[in-house]
Chains A and B, each alone.
Chain A
Amino acid sequence: MNIREEFKNKYQIEPITVNTRLEDESYLTVKHEDFIPACLALHKLCHSPVMMMFAEDKRKTRSCYRLNTAFYAANTQHWYYICLDFPGADQEFPSVAKEIYSATLFEREIWEMFGIRPEGSPDLRRLRLHEEVWPEGYFPLRKDFTPPPATGRTGQEYNFIKGEGEGLFEVPVGPVHAGIIGPGHFHFTAAGEPIINLELRLGFTHRGVEKLMEGKTLTEALKLCECVSGDAAFAHSLACCSAAEKIFDLTVPARAKLIRAICLELERMYNHINDIGGIALDVGFSFASSFASVMKETILQLNDSISGNRYLKGVNVIGGVTKDINERSAAGLIGKLKTLNTDLKGLEEILFSSASFMDRVDSTGILRQKTAEDIGIIGLAGRASGLTLDLRTNTEPYRLAGFKPIVLGTGDALARLKIRLLEFKQSVQLINSFAGQLASGALASIPAGIKEDFALGAVEGWRGPVLYWLKLDSNQKIERCKITDPSFHNWEGLSYAVQGEIIPDFPLCNKSFDLSYSGNDL
């Protein structure tokens, strides 16, 4: 669509500038009063939640903050941004969250990290810089940030949403959980058995990744990306690389693209099988879970044999890959996958023929399509609730392999389980197809020249879209890097899915989403 025309005719909005330097991204800078209407217009036009919203501190050069709100038009695979520049002295911008719910968390993030207030926002509680340990008035992502002289014991507390009424009770859980798992606090309000509200408080693994990124070279940054969310290390580094490649206008060699796609699918496979086992474990079906854990280990060892790392770290470089898959290892890979596929079918039969297992997962933790759409659920959890978004659709090399996203509609734990089973088998097929296409060629192109620019890297990781928005300064160091893991969108989905369920079903619901703590907390 011609966005300028569309905006003018349909919405009477005239952007100040439209930047279409990149093929699949458009940046529309708008006037202050047009900001909310423009966001609403794109929200409608693209049928997209706020995919990402972030600020940049440009007070030094242009004495303003810039706010970018990103939407994704899936039918044209195009990213649209509404950009707003506002004077540094203002420290305020109109809240989008009042109109579009999926902006809420992003606005809370901007408020705590930059100290610029979304005017009229319904919720301004902190996300990651916990009130208990971080004093007021210190905003890490400002360029002139200096750390507070002391932290810890501020005397402040987080305000949980309180349920009131006869017989209601609250169950606080975490941050340290019973299992070997990341930390997070779950605050249940229950009426008898059923949960009437679950509030999540995360941020316990906050490490200040976005600040650490600033001033790093791309090579240094790539290392850090692999440690943002360890179980999605490959998707994260790929997203970072594709952003950089767009900045440098690099064409990635066909062979490298295929190897990347193979690795991305391997990452999906080991995580999906991990969760299938996890779901079985959380309903007490330990045989199935052990079975799955052996399959996971097999894939991790497979990763190790083709890339030298069980978590596929170190495979990506800007411009391509460092590891080759030769004919012999491709044949080995395909052979192993065949066995895994048979194993999966066996596991599936075992799970689906157990009445007590099915009883637990069927229609448990339902996330309705309407709810999922309204709160902006993306990725695997979205597809289980009938939303079709999958960034792999219509992109190479997936198009050639005949890729179609797998979408189910019931939105319960069973649907999320089935999607994993189906995607696992699909990944096997995809890898077979990719491996068959491997023609000889270079592994990487070399970036050249000096580019002071920005771009978005977007990758459909196993949980969903992993987004890296990267901006380089004139010294080729990173000026701003905004990271959005799908977990940031989807944790909210969990708190809706468990409403009405009983607390003992919570672990199962949680596992059926299996979101990242560290990817969310950054």
Chain B
Amino acid sequence: MAILKIIKNRLVKGIVDLRREELMPEIEALGKELKRVINRRFRGSFHLREVDTGSCGACESEIIATTNPIYDVQRFGVNFVASPKHADALLVTGPVSRNMLLALQKTYEAIPGEKFVITLGDCALNGGLFKDSYYTLGGVDKVLKVDLHIPGCPPTPTEIIKRLLSLLIAPGEI
């Protein structure tokens, strides 16, 4: 039954993917470029492990939004993975609550080989609104060397994709 409904829905609505170029031309152009770079430098897949060190949750919401069918970053080769062992980079949100310090370090160490650290959201840059707190360390760079920051509170999915591209395109970053 469910499958009939799904087919009906698809016939009525058409395939969202095929209308992407008209819906969000900016994303399409960025994505093509991103895919080209990822193909060249990471053999087709760039894997991120996300760690929340005390974010308010909106940054996570926008990261998840990049994977919805409208942006769908997976098709450009960007993937979010469950295990740090499978990751090329660490994506960190939040001002680093003291309670998360150990978990952040351990996750970083668990990523094999050379790795990127990407911070996302104003909190992760310098603690943002929480920088004067007794319980935050005030930014990820107090703990790890950061390669790229994606600014915003929270950054939009388009912004996230743009910044990822700028990181991967810049030569000599690794």
Separation of A45 and B22 alpha carbons in the complex (Å):
61
Which of A132, A175, A521 has its CB near the most chain B CB atoms (within 10 A)? A175
Instruction: Point out the residues of chain B lying under 8 angstroms from A311, CB to CB.
Output: 58, 61, 154
For the complex of A and B, list the 9 residue pairs with the smallest distance between their C-beta atoms, beginning with the closest: A230-B58, A230-B56, A354-B2, A178-B82, A293-B68, A353-B1, A208-B133, A205-B54, A230-B57
Q: Given B6, B9, B80, B134, which contacts A208 in the complex, CB threshold below 8 Å?
A: B134
Q: Chain A's nearest CB lies how many Å from the CB of B22?
A: 16
Contact, CB under 8 Å: A212 / B133: yes
Which B-chain residue is minimally distant from A357 (CB atoms)? B2
The B14-65 residues at the A interface (CB cut-off 8 A) are: 16, 50-65
Stretch touching chain B among A72-80, A89-97, A179-187, A325-333: A179-187
The A293-315 residues at the B interface (CB cut-off 8 A) are: 293-294, 296-297, 300, 310-311, 313
Q: Chain A's nearest CB lies how many Å from the CB of B109?
A: 12
Interface string of A130-171 (1 = CB under 8 A from B): 101110000010000101000110000000000000000000
Binding site for B on A (CB under 8 A): 128-130, 132-134, 140, 145, 147, 151-152, 175-176, 178-183, 203-209, 211-212, 223-224, 227-231, 233, 274, 287, 290-291, 293-294, 296-297, 300, 310-311, 313, 346, 349-351, 353-355, 357, 516-518, 521
**A-B pair number, CB within 8 angstroms:** 157
Separation of A208 and B72 alpha carbons in the complex (Å):
36
Q: Given B54, B123, B154, which contacts A206 in the complex, CB threshold below 8 Å?
A: B54
Contact, CB under 8 Å: B98 / A182: no
Separation of A350 and B7 alpha carbons in the complex (Å):
10
Instruction: Point out the residues of chain B lying under 8 angstroms from A224, CB to CB.
Output: 129
B144 in the interface, Cβ–Cβ < 8 Å?
no
Instruction: Point out the residues of chain A lying under 8 angstroms from B129, CB to CB.
Output: 212, 223-224, 227
Give the interface SS of chain A, mostly helix, strand, loop or mixed. loop
Q: Could you list 12 examples of A-B contacts with CB < 8 Å?
A: A151-B98, A204-B54, A204-B99, A205-B94, A230-B56, A231-B57, A287-B6, A294-B69, A346-B5, A350-B6, A350-B9, A351-B2
Contact, CB under 8 Å: B134 / A140: yes
B100 in the interface, Cβ–Cβ < 8 Å?
yes
Contact, CB under 8 Å: A180 / B60: yes
Instruction: Point out the residues of chain A lying under 8 angstroms from B63, CB to CB.
Output: 180
Q: Given B6, B54, B103, which contacts A518 in the complex, CB threshold below 8 Å?
A: B54
Known: A175-B100, A180-B64. A346 touches B9 (CB 8 A): yes
Contact, CB under 8 Å: B65 / A297: yes
Separation of A227 and B51 alpha carbons in the complex (Å):
18
Separation of A517 and B52 alpha carbons in the complex (Å):
10
Q: Chain A's nearest CB lies how many Å from the CB of B73?
A: 12
Instruction: Point out the residues of chain A lying under 8 angstroms from B97, CB to CB.
Output: 204-207, 521
Contact, CB under 8 Å: B101 / A152: yes
Instruction: Point out the residues of chain B lying under 8 angstroms from A178, CB to CB.
Output: 82-83
Contact, CB under 8 Å: A350 / B56: no
Q: Given B6, B50, B54, B68, which contacts A294 in the complex, CB threshold below 8 Å?
A: B68
Which A-chain residue is minimally distant from B59 (CB atoms)? A230
Contact, CB under 8 Å: B70 / A229: no
Separation of A204 and B68 alpha carbons in the complex (Å):
27
Contact, CB under 8 Å: B100 / A353: no
Q: Chain A's nearest CB lies how many Å from the CB of B138?
A: 11
Supplied contacts A231-B58, A274-B61, 17 more A-B pairs, CB within 8 Å: A133-B98, A140-B134, A179-B82, A180-B63, A182-B57, A183-B100, A183-B103, A204-B103, A205-B53, A207-B95, A207-B133, A227-B58, A233-B56, A290-B69, A293-B65, A293-B69, A296-B65
Separation of A208 and B128 alpha carbons in the complex (Å):
13
Instruction: Point out the residues of chain A lying under 8 angstroms from B64, CB to CB.
Output: 180, 293
Separation of A313 and B9 alpha carbons in the complex (Å):
34
Separation of A80 and B53 alpha carbons in the complex (Å):
37
Which A-chain residue is minimally distant from B133 (CB atoms)? A208
Q: Chain B's nearest CB lies how many Å from the CB of A272?
A: 14
Contact, CB under 8 Å: A207 / B5: no
Separation of A205 and B100 alpha carbons in the complex (Å):
7
Known: A180-B63, A207-B135, A208-B136. A349 touches B5 (CB 8 A): yes
Instruction: Point out the residues of chain B lying under 8 angstroms from A353, CB to CB.
Output: 1-2, 5
The B85-123 residues at the A interface (CB cut-off 8 A) are: 94-95, 97-103, 107, 123
Separation of A219 and B90 alpha carbons in the complex (Å):
35
Instruction: Point out the residues of chain B lying under 8 angstroms from A521, CB to CB.
Output: 54, 97
Contact, CB under 8 Å: A350 / B134: no
Instruction: Point out the residues of chain A lying under 8 angstroms from B65, CB to CB.
Output: 293, 296-297, 300
Q: Chain B's nearest CB lies how many Å from the CB of A186?
A: 14
Contact, CB under 8 Å: A207 / B130: yes
Interface string of B137-150 (1 = CB under 8 A from A): 00000000000000
Instruction: Point out the residues of chain B lying under 8 angstroms from A227, CB to CB.
Output: 56, 58, 123, 128-130, 153
Q: Given A212, A296, A516, which contacts B57 in the complex, CB threshold below 8 Å?
A: A516
Separation of A212 and B107 alpha carbons in the complex (Å):
29
Which A-chain residue is minimally distant from B49 (CB atoms)? A176
Contact, CB under 8 Å: B56 / A229: yes
Instruction: Point out the residues of chain B lying under 8 angstroms from A300, CB to CB.
Output: 65
Separation of A349 and B3 alpha carbons in the complex (Å):
11
Separation of A293 and B70 alpha carbons in the complex (Å):
9
Contact, CB under 8 Å: B98 / A229: no
Which of B65, B99, B107 has its CB near the most chain A CB atoms (within 10 A)? B99
Contact, CB under 8 Å: B57 / A290: no
Instruction: Point out the residues of chain B lying under 8 angstroms from A357, CB to CB.
Output: 2
Separation of A223 and B56 alpha carbons in the complex (Å):
13
Which B-chain residue is minimally distant from A285 (CB atoms)? B2
Instruction: Point out the residues of chain A lying under 8 angstroms from B82, CB to CB.
Output: 178-179
Which B-chain residue is minimally distant from A223 (CB atoms)? B129
Instruction: Point out the residues of chain A lying under 8 angstroms from B9, CB to CB.
Output: 291, 346, 350
